[in-house]
Structure 1
Amino acid sequence: MDTKVLYVTAIAIAAVSGGYYYYSGKSNKLQADSARSMNYSASNINLTQTDEHGKLYIRAKVDRLEQDLQQKTSQLNNLNASVYKDGRLDATFFAKVANGYNDNEKVVLRHDVQATKIMETGQMVFRTDELTALPKTREIETDKQVTVESPQAEFVSNGLKANLNNGQYEFFNIRGKYEPKS
């Protein structure tokens, strides 16, 4: 047999084999890409989470969750969450809609938002239309109007920045009344 025929046959076999492996691998990649871009949804969710010491950290109830794994976003309807610190109730959050970004590193609560901070002297309740929460750092903020009710004061602020860890609150353009305990 002529060597030229052997080379052509070898090249033809290599081309067919290479094409097969190339296209079979590419089709698997396309399947993986389409699986990664899937959206998930669930209804009537009850969540209980503990911290690294086994103490209760968060309890949440959500009517509906939609999650996009590729964009790392989520949307929750009728979020009702309770956050615990050292196993004791520390704060509660309610919102008709909550959008989570970057695997819920940032959560934006919207529509009839109510956040309640539990204190030794009572509760401090924040009501607003939109509130951004950073769960890892336990900070909340908004540039929207906030109604604040506490045992010592009732007022309206045109914005809020708060650190729930150390109890520092920053309010902007406050109008209301303050009654210190005698």
Structure 2
Amino acid sequence: MDTKVLYVTAVLIAAISGGYYYFGGKSNKLQADSSKSMTYSAEKINLTQTDEQGKLSVRAKVDRLEQDLQKQTSHLVNLHASTYKDGVVDATFFAKQAKGIDDNEKVILSDQVVATKLMRDGKMEFHTQELTAFPKRKEIETDKTVTVLSPQAEFVSQGLKANLNDGQYEFFNIRGKYEP
């Protein structure tokens, strides 16, 4: 048999097979975006993140992470995170549960939440059951009861809004004691 005939036959078989594969049932096709619907999980994660100048900006430890790429959400168990400013720890966060939304633009911490802001004259701790953080803006807020402990005061607030960049805090319905 002539090699030209063999070549034409092979090309014809390949074209028919490719056409069947391509035009066949959708369930048989490989879909490039199928990986977006996957959910990933990992355990015992240590994260170190730097800013645009290469300075340390975030360090975190998580016992378990589940991430859904299609919904752009994540679920974390036992989150311990520290944010840095000029290479020094600026604030720390702990929560037994955390849920990241919109690729972690918004993070909802829940279950025994402790947020600590380190200051020149000590630290300010916020204890609550739920706290929403906006990591890129360095803002936190909640409408839940917050117990605040600082060197000058101990009080309970029914909600909180704070900008950790400039130290502006807004508390609601405060009860407690203050010592200047």
Normalising by structure 1, we get a TM-score of 0.85
- 2:59 counterpart residue number: 59
Identity of aligned residues (%): 75
Once the two structures are superposed, residues 29-66 of structure 1 have per-residue CA deviations (whole angstroms, 9 ceiling, x without a partner) of: 65334321000000000111111111111110000000
SS of residue paired to 2:35: helix
Which runs of 5 or more residues in structure 2 are unaligned?
1-15
- 1:128 counterpart residue number: 128
SS of residue paired to 1:80: strand
Residue 141 of structure 2 corresponds to residue 141 of structure 1: yes
- 1:76 counterpart residue number: 76
Give distance in 1, aligned partners of 2:169 and 2:175: 15
The alignment covers a number of residue pairs equal to 165
Give distance in 2, aligned partners of 1:90 and 1:24: 58
Once the two structures are superposed, residues 58-99 of structure 1 have per-residue CA deviations (whole angstroms, 9 ceiling, x without a partner) of: 110000000000000000000000100111110000000000
- 1:38 counterpart residue number: 38
Give distance in 1, aligned partners of 2:162 and 2:29: 45
Give distance in 2, aligned partners of 1:92 and 1:20: 57
Give distance in 1, aligned partners of 2:129 and 2:57: 26
State the shift of 1:174 in Å. 0.1
SS of residue paired to 2:31: helix
SS of residue paired to 1:159: strand
2:59 partner amino acid: R
Which runs of 5 or more residues in structure 1 are unaligned?
1-15
Taking a change above 3 Å as real, the CA distance of residues 35 and 118 of structure 1, as seen in their structure-2 partners, is same
Give distance in 2, aligned partners of 1:168 and 1:25: 59
Taking a change above 3 Å as real, the CA distance of residues 159 and 103 of structure 1, as seen in their structure-2 partners, is same
Alignment RMSD, CA only?
Answer: 2.0
Q: Indicate conservation of the 8 Å contact 2:81/2:93, yes or no.
A: yes
1:136 partner amino acid: K
